Amino acid sequence: MNAPNDTAHRKVASFEIFHTQYLDPEGRPTAEWPVWAQKPESLRELYRLMVRTRVFDKKAVSLQRTGQLGTYAACLGQEAIGAAIGHALAADDVFMPAYREYAAQFARGVPMKDVLLYWGGDERGMVYPEGTPAYHDFPLSVPIGTHVPHSIGVAYAFKLRGEKRVVLVSCGDGASSKGDFLEAVSSAKVWDLPIVFLVNNNQWAISLPRQKQTGAQTLAQKAIAGGMPGEQVDGNDAVATREVLSQAIARARNGEGPSLVEAITYRLHDHTTADDARRYRPDEEVQAAWGNCPIKRTKAYLQRSGHWSDADEQRLLAEAAAEVEAQVQAFLDTEPEPPAAIFDTLYESLPKSLVWQREEVIAAGPIGEDH
C-alpha cells in the first residue's frame, strides 16, 4: 500500500508548458534561429507584410472615424500573428479566422478592399477571389468562438477524404473560456484531426483582463485536457510564431493530430472602434506594451544586421500607402448592394418565412427615398 505522502507512486499525470522566443523586444536573437529564418529575405517578407497591415489598419480606423466604414476591429500590435499564420500555412490548407488576423488574409490573397467591404456591412467582402489560397478560407467570425466547432467539421472532412490538408483556427483569450472552444479541443484529439488551434492572447476580452478570464496559469494548458500538445509563443516575435505554427502544422499534416498554440501579445488599440479602452485600463500599461511592438523589434534586427536600409523603409512606406489608398478607393467606388441582399448569404435555400420578407423588401424599393 502506498503511503498518502508517497507522491511518486500516486502521481497519475504531469505536464509542462514551454514558451518560445527567438527575437526579444530590442530585436536581439535569443536562441539559434531555424534555417528558414536565417535567410534575410524570409524576415524581410514578414516585415513588409506587418508594415502593410499596420498602414491598412490605421487607415481603416480613420475611415470609421470619418463615417465611411462601420465598426472596425483594429489589429494594432498584433501584426506578427497574422503574418506568421500567412507564411506558415500551405496554399490548400484552410484558415478559419476570428477577426484580427488581417495579415494572414492579405498573405493568402484577400484584397484589402474586401476586408473594408466586410466591415462596411457588405458580405461580398467575404467572397474571396478564386485561384487564391484564401478561396477555401472562412469568413471573419465576429461571434466569439462559434467558428471553432466548425473547424472540427472541416478537419474531419480532410481526414475522411484522406487529404493532407490542415485547418488553422484562431480565436482570442476570451473565446478560450467558451464551451464552443473547449468542446472542439475535446473532440480534436479523440478523432486525431489535422488541426491547429491558435489562441491570440492579447490580454483583454473587450474590458475583461486576462487575470479575470481564467484561473489557469496559461491558456496553452487547455490543450492538456484535450490530450494534445500545448505551448506558448511570443506572439510579437514573428520568427517564433511562424516557427511554432509551422511545427504544429507539420505534425497535423503528418497524421500526428492536433495542437494548441497560445500566442502572447497585447491589444494596443480599443477592442473595436465602438469601444473606449481608456475607461477601463491604465495608460501606463498600454505605453509599456508599445515596447514589445512586433514591427519595431523586427526592424531593429534587420537594420542592425545590415539587411534593411532607410531607403528600403521609405520605399516600403510609400508602396504601402499607395496600395492602401488604391484599395480604399476601390472600396468607396463599390456600388452598394440592394437591401434584399441581406437575405442572400443566410441559407442555401431560403425558408418560406423569409421568402415573403425578402419580397416585401424588394417591393419597398431603394432605401432612403421616402425617409
The residue within the footprint of Mg ion, chosen from 202, 232, 273, 327 (CB under 5 A), is 202
- Is position 230 an interface residue for Mg ion (rule: CB under 5 A)? no
Which among 128-136, 157-165, 204-212, 276-284 is the span making contact with Mg ion, rule CB under 5 A? 204-212
The least distance separating Mg ion from the CB of residue 76, rounded to whole angstroms, comes to 13
Query: Total residues at the site for Mg ion (CB under 5 A)?
Result: 4
Q: Is 172 in the site for Mg ion (CB under 5 A)?
A: yes
Residue 63 Cβ, how far from Mg ion at the closest point, in Å? 23
State the Cα–Cα distance between residues 141 and 358, nearest whole angstrom.
Answer: 25
* Residue environment code for 62-75, b if the CB has 16+ CB neighbours within 10 A, otherwise e: ebbeeeebbebbbb
CA dihedral of residues 125, 131, 134, 139 (deg, nearest 10): 40
Q: Does 101 bind Mg ion (CB under 5 A)?
A: no
Nearer to Mg ion, 61 or 205 (CB): 205
**CB nearer Mg ion, residue 134 or residue 168:** 168
Vertex 17 angle, CA 12 and 21, to 5°: 165
| Active site annotation includes 165 | no
**Interface residue with Mg ion, options 185, 205, 220, 320 (CB under 5 A):** 205
Tell me which residue of 6, 8, 13, 2 sits closest to 221, measured CA to CA.
13
- Helix then strand then coil, in percent of the chain rounded to 5, is 50, 10, 40
Is 111 among the residues that bind Mg ion (CB under 5 A)? no
Strand-pairing partners, residue 260, are: 197, 230
Rg (CA), the chain: 22
If the CB atoms of residues 104 and 205 are measured against Mg ion, the closer one turns out to be 205
Q: Is 280 a catalytic residue?
A: yes
Catalytic residue (one of 267, 269, 297, 301): 267
- Give the count of beta carbons closer than 10 Å to the beta carbon of residue 346: 11
Q: Which of the stretches 200-208, 239-247, 313-321, 332-340 binds Mg ion when contact is defined by CB under 5 A?
A: 200-208
Binding site residues, Mg ion, CB under 5 A:
172-173, 202, 205
Catalytic residue numbers read: 267, 271, 280
